[in-house]
């Protein structure tokens, strides 16, 4: 029997030291990000850490693939800011729980497969835009509060911050060339921590963002009225949050599949996300989704099993319970340096190498998705726009592919052999293939090398038969599917049925 948890699949070799060290590194990078987004949204800081713990643990145990790391991600939190301002924190918890229920339904009905509709140019734009967001978000740590105003660091504090960030980057780059026994990111964080501690350097620490001291996530039923009015308020936010989480999560899963050359389970990941978000709603977490930056930190540290994600989640819980005094003193410069290297590693640099070989429309789509991702910080909207534009471009290109070869046989019957798809986009070109006025009394249209895809194609065939009937000419249609025969008017008079050769595909209808 196939084991449900790879952690306990002893038939597969797992490097436990690598998994544990990778988990510790992931925890170190997840804490400041979860805190930052919680504070940005106006939530209590601990809601971010609780989300990181709950999302990380549940998805590591139940998720669709090993190596994927989930936590309190900014992509989903940003959706809830408006709800927090207008209705308050209790409505946020209710919306997070409902979003989880929606995600579970998506997984149960196996709708995760639709992420396959995301084209490669959209993936390039999504990943590159996300890399820019990760990098730019680190620049916020080069700012400070002066007389109630946020200003850029200057003078000695700026030089110290830059020096520590550069030290972190140098360690992350150089150490793997010497040894890969331990994750370079974790070593960099520890070295910079010790440098700041031993030399008493005055620089921004994790505690300058918020304290991470607290207890175990408390069970809490959201205090909201259980009526339809409440549901109407939270449902739009829940739906968008669920969509954003699934989009970012399943695209991240695809990315991990490519990196590890393995196959993840999208529907299982959707269900795991949903369970985690429902628990967040009832255990005072702000909710979340898979985090591409932390996932890449995990993979770059050598983790390939579920253990690293479990270790990361439990580390965050231990930090909340007992480790706050130590983590509070970790320099932000170390975490900034690690995240900047993650951003550089996330960026699809190969997209520049293949840009001259890509169609112009794909280049435009990739750039557009990246710009929307960076500008609006709305990953779901960026991907949706990219997919829609890609689909329209595909429809336009396909509409130009329909053509026909013509010949008149010995009996004077004219034959049209159709090539290419007949659908809403190609109907106009299809109609131009026929010369009703000059055609002989009997005409045959053969769809052996074509296919009718939708009701627009059926409507075009109905109108074509009417044109020939109005001219007192006989039109015969060959090699149409059973669906086409049922949907065409006067089908018995105009369709030659061939039981052996006729196709069996289905036509998209409104029924």
Q: With contact defined as beta carbons under 8 Å apart, do 317 and 216 qualify?
A: yes
Query: Given this model, what pLDDT does residue 4 score?
Result: 45
- Find all residues with CB under 8 Å of 177, minimum gap 6, and list them: none
Pairing relation of β-strands 474-478 and 403-408? unpaired
End-to-end CA distance of the chain: 42
Q: Phi/psi of residue 89, each to 5°?
A: -65, -35
Based on the fold, state whether residues 281 and 356 are members of the same structural domain: yes
Based on the fold, state whether residues 86 and 119 are members of the same structural domain: yes
Q: Phi/psi of residue 137, each to 5°?
A: -65, -25
* Dist. CA 403–CA 426, nearest whole Å: 10
* Dist. CA 128–CA 158, nearest whole Å: 28
Based on the fold, state whether residues 242 and 324 are members of the same structural domain: yes
Query: Given this model, what pLDDT does residue 3 score?
Result: 46
**Angle made by CA atoms 240, 242, 247, in degrees to the nearest 5:** 95
Query: Given this model, what pLDDT does residue 501 score?
Result: 65
Based on the fold, state whether residues 44 and 117 are members of the same structural domain: yes
Based on the fold, state whether residues 137 and 236 are members of the same structural domain: yes
If one counts the domains in the chain, the total is 2
Identify which of 441, 435, 429, 428 has the alpha carbon closest to the alpha carbon of residue 475. 441
What domain range includes position 361? 16-152+202-332+344-380
- How do the pLDDT tens digits run along the chain, 511 residues long? 444 444 455 556 788 999 999 999 999 888 877 887 787 688 888 999 999 999 999 999 999 989 999 998 877 887 788 899 899 999 999 999 999 999 999 999 998 777 667 787 887 887 788 788 878 888 888 888 777 788 898 999 999 999 999 999 999 899 988 887 777 888 898 999 999 999 999 998 888 877 777 889 999 999 999 999 999 999 989 988 898 888 888 888 888 888 888 888 999 999 999 999 999 999 999 999 999 888 988 998 889 899 999 999 999 999 999 988 888 888 989 888 887 887 887 788 887 887 878 888 888 998 998 898 888 776 667 878 888 999 899 889 988 899 999 999 999 999 999 999 999 999 999 999 999 999 999 999 999 999 898 889 889 998 998 899 899 998 888 888 887 878 887 666 666 555 456 777 778 765 5
* Dist. CA 88–CA 392, nearest whole Å: 41
164 occurs within a structural domain: no
Tokens of 505: 């595909």
49 occurs within a structural domain: yes
430 occurs within a structural domain: yes
Based on the fold, state whether residues 239 and 309 are members of the same structural domain: yes
Based on the fold, state whether residues 266 and 122 are members of the same structural domain: yes
28 occurs within a structural domain: yes
421 occurs within a structural domain: yes
361 occurs within a structural domain: yes
Based on the fold, state whether residues 130 and 222 are members of the same structural domain: yes
Identify the CATH number of the domain in which residue 422 sits: 3.30.750.24
161 occurs within a structural domain: no
Cα→Cα distances 332→6, 120, 298, 341, 480, Å: 34, 35, 19, 14, 66
Identify which of 465, 450, 464 has the alpha carbon closest to the alpha carbon of residue 418. 450
Based on the fold, state whether residues 370 and 419 are members of the same structural domain: no
Based on the fold, state whether residues 140 and 21 are members of the same structural domain: yes
* Dist. CA 446–CA 452, nearest whole Å: 12
- Find all residues with CB under 8 Å of 333, minimum gap 6, and list them: 141, 160, 161, 164, 165, 168, 192, 203, 204
Q: Which helix (H) or strand (E) holds 408?
A: strand 403-408
293 occurs within a structural domain: yes
Tokens of 206: 């994790």
Based on the fold, state whether residues 215 and 306 are members of the same structural domain: yes
Residue 200: CB atoms within 10 A of its CB come to: 6
Query: Given this model, what pLDDT does residue 433 score?
Result: 94
**3-state SS string over 439-492?**
CCCEEEEEEEEEEECEHHHHHHHHHHHHHHHHCCCEEEEECCCHHHHHHCCCHH
* Dist. CA 95–CA 241, nearest whole Å: 9
Based on the fold, state whether residues 314 and 436 are members of the same structural domain: no
Tokens of 159: 């030089």
Tokens of 180: 């890969």
Q: Would you say the C-alpha torsion 247, 250, 251, 252 has a positive or negative sign? A: positive
* Dist. CA 403–CA 420, nearest whole Å: 7
């Amino acid at each position: 029997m196939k084991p449900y948890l790879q952690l306990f699949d002893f038939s597969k070799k797992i490097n436990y030291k690598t998994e544990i060290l990778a988990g510790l590194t992931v925890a170190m990078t997840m804490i400041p990000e979860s805190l930052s987004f919680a504070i940005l949204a106006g939530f209590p800081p601990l809601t971010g850490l609780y989300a990181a713990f709950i999302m990380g643990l549940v998805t590591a145990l139940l998720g669709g693939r090993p190596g994927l790391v989930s936590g309190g991600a900014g992509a989903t939190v940003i959706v809830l800011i408006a709800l927090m301002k207008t209705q308050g924190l209790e409505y946020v918890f209710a919306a997070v729980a409902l979003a989880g229920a929606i995600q579970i339904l998506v997984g149960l009905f196996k709708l995760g497969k639709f992420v396959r509709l995301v084209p490669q140019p959209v993936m390039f734009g999504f990943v590159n835009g996300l890399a820019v967001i990760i990098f730019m978000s680190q620049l916020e740590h080069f700012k400070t509060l002066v007389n109630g105003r946020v200003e850029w660091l200057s003078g000695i504090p700026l030089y110290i911050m830059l020096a520590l960030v550069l030290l972190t980057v140098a360690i992350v780059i150089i150490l793997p060339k010497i040894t890969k026994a331990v994750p370079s990111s974790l070593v960099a964080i520890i070295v910079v921590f010790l440098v700041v501690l031993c030399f008493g350097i005055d620089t921004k620490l994790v505690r300058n963002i918020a304290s991470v001291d607290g207890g175990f996530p408390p069970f809490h039923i959201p205090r909201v009225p259980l009526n339809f009015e409440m549901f109407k308020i939270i449902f739009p936010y829940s739906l968008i949050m669920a969509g954003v989480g699934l989009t970012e999560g399943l695209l991240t899963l695809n990315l991990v599949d490519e990196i590890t050359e393995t196959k993840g389970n999208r529907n299982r990941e959707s269900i795991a996300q949903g369970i985690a978000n429902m628990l967040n709603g009832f255990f005072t977490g702000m909710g979340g989704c898979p985090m591409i930056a932390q996932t890449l930190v995990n993979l770059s540290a050598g983790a390939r099993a579920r253990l690293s994600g479990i270790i990361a989640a439990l580390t965050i819980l231990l930090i909340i319970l007992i480790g706050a005094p130590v983590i509070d003193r970790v320099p932000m410069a170390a975490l900034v340096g690690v995240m900047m290297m993650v951003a550089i590693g996330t960026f699809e640099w190969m997209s520049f190498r293949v840009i001259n070989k890509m169609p112009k429309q794909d280049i435009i789509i990739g750039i557009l998705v990246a710009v929307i991702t960076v500008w609006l910080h709305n990953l779901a909207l960026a991907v949706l726009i990219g997919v829609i534009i890609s689909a329209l471009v595909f429809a336009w290109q396909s509409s130009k592919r329909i053509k026909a070869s013509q010949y008149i046989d010995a009996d004077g019957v004219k034959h049209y052999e159709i090539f290419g798809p007949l659908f809403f986009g190609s109907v106009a070109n299809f109609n131009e293939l026929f010369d009703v006025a000059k055609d002989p009394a009997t005409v045959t249209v053969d769809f052996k090398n074509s296919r009718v895809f939708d009701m627009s194609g059926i409507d075009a065939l109905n109108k074509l038969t009417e044109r020939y009937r109005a001219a007192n000419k006989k039109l015969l249609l060959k090699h149409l599917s059973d669906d086409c025969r049922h949907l065409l008017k006067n089908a018995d008079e105009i369709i030659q049925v061939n039981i052996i050769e006729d196709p069996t595909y289905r036509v998209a209808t409104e029924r």
